[in-house]
Amino acid sequence: MGIGTTLRKMFTRPYGTIAAGEVQALLAQRRAVLIDVRERHEWSTGHAPAARHIPLGSLPARLAEIPHDRPVIAVCQSGMRSARAARFLARAGREAYNLRGGMSAWAANGLPVKGGSYR
């Protein structure tokens, strides 16, 4: 393996990114799964109605709960932890995406929020 191939592997993301508006359309068609990787106290401040709550630290142990046959979109507060989750999911064989901007972008786009009083 050459240096170019090694560098590409090191710096290429094994997952995609997706905008909040695109996520809503996929969820409405039941074509994707949304995983919220924030901690419980963050989840309780409000979350996307269709999201499943699996904190980032629990993701490896709960991987079996995540379907293989549908795209998986990870979300956190701003997109940093969900990028880590998406990388993990992609390396575990899932078609994975990071919700760009996280719940902040979700709420800023006026998308529905369940529970709490998220802002």
Determine whether 23 is an active site residue: no
Where is pLDDT greater, at 9 or 27?
A: 27
Tell which residue, 115, 112, 104, 51, has the closest CA to residue 79. 104
pTM: 0.87
Give the active site residue among 20, 23, 56, 76.
76
pLDDT tens by residue, 54-109: 999 999 999 999 999 999 999 999 999 999 999 999 999 999 999 999 999 999 99
Structural domain boundaries of the chain? 15-108
User: For residue 117, what are the CA distances in angstroms to 42, 46, 68, 107, 110?
Assistant: 11, 6, 33, 11, 13
The third-level CATH classification (topology) of the domain covering 15-108 is: Oxidized Rhodanese; domain 1 (3.40.250)
